[in-house]
A and B are shown apart, each in its own frame.
Chain A
Amino acid sequence: EDKVVQSPLSLVVHEGDTVTLNCSYEVTNFRSLLWYKQEKKAPTFLFMLTSSGIEKKSGRLSSILDKKELFSILNITATQTGDSAIYLCAVETRSGGSNYKLTFGKGTLLTVNP
C-alpha cells in the first residue's frame, strides 16, 4: 500500500519566520511528487518534482526532492499571514499502462500570526 506522510500536522509561526514542511513516502513505481496549497476550496498547484537534488523555486517558496531517502521538503521564507493554509503533498505513481494514481498526505496546517 502506498503511503505519504507529512509532518508536522500543524504549525504556528510569526510573520517573518522561515518554515520547513516535510513529506516522506513509501510507494511503488514513483513518478513525481507534488505540493499543493489549499486555502478555502480547491488546492492550488505549487511544485512538481521528479528529479533528486534539483531545487524548484517560486518567490519565497522552494522545494527539493530526495529520491534516495524518499522525502521532500517545502520551505517558505519570510512568511506572511497570506501563507496560512493547508499544504498538501501528493505522490504520483504509475499502475501500469497509461494509468496512474495520486496518493495524498494528510497535509500540514500552517498558521502565520501577525
Chain B
Amino acid sequence: EAGVVQSPRYKIIEKKQPVAFWCNPISGHNTLYWYRQNLGQGPELLIRYENEEAVDDSQLPKDRFSAERLKGVDSTLKIQPAELGDSAVYLCASSFGWWETQYFGPGTRLLVL
C-alpha cells in the first residue's frame, strides 16, 4: 500500500518568495493534516481537513499561509511571502478519521534564506 506522498522533499528559497507544498494522502483516508515541525520539537498542527472542508485551521497563520483540498483528495499548502522563521519541516498526514492513527509523509524541508 502506498503511503502519504509529499513533494518536493527539499526547498530552498529567499525570503519574500512564495512556496508551495503538495500532499497526496493514503487512499481512502478522509482526514488530512498539515503540520509544521521545528528542530527538536514535535509536529504542530496547522490545518485539518475532513474531505474537502477545513474543519480546524486555528493555528494556520492566515496572513501568509493558505491551503486547499479541492476534491477532497490531495492538498497544497502555500506560503506567500515566506519569512526566515518559516524554515521548518512541513509534514502531511492522513487518517481514516479525526484523531485515529495518523500516517505521515516524509515531509518537505524548507529553508528560507
Contact = CB atoms under 8 A, between A and B. Distances in A.
Interface of A: 2, 32, 34, 36, 40-45, 47-48, 90, 92, 95, 97-104
A42 B106 contact: no
B41 A99 contact: no
B88 interface: no
Contacts of A101: 93, 101-104
22 contacts: A34-B42, A36-B42, A41-B56, A41-B59, A42-B59, A45-B44, A48-B41, A48-B42, A95-B3, A95-B103, A98-B107, A99-B3, A99-B106, A100-B104, A101-B101, A101-B102, A101-B103, A101-B104, A102-B43, A102-B101, A102-B104, A104-B101
B40 interface: yes
A111 to B, nearest CB: 20
Interface string B53-74: 0001011000000000000000
Contact of A43 (B4, B45, B104): B45
B56 A45 contact: no
Interface of B: 3-4, 40-45, 48, 56, 58-59, 93, 99, 101-107
A40 B59 CA distance: 12
A83 to B, nearest CB: 19
A99 B4 contact: yes
Contacts of B105: 99
B48 A42 contact: yes
Contact of A42 (B42, B58, B101): B58
A97 B104 CA distance: 12
Nearest to A32: B42
Question: Which of the listed residues A36, A42, A98 has the most CB atoms from chain B within 10 Å of its own CB?
Answer: A42
- Identify the 7 closest CB pairs spanning chains A and B, nearest first: A98-B106, A41-B58, A48-B42, A34-B42, A42-B45, A102-B102, A45-B42
A77 B57 CA distance: 31
Nearest to B60: A42
A42 B56 contact: yes
Nearest to B3: A99
A45 B41 contact: yes
A98 B109 CA distance: 13
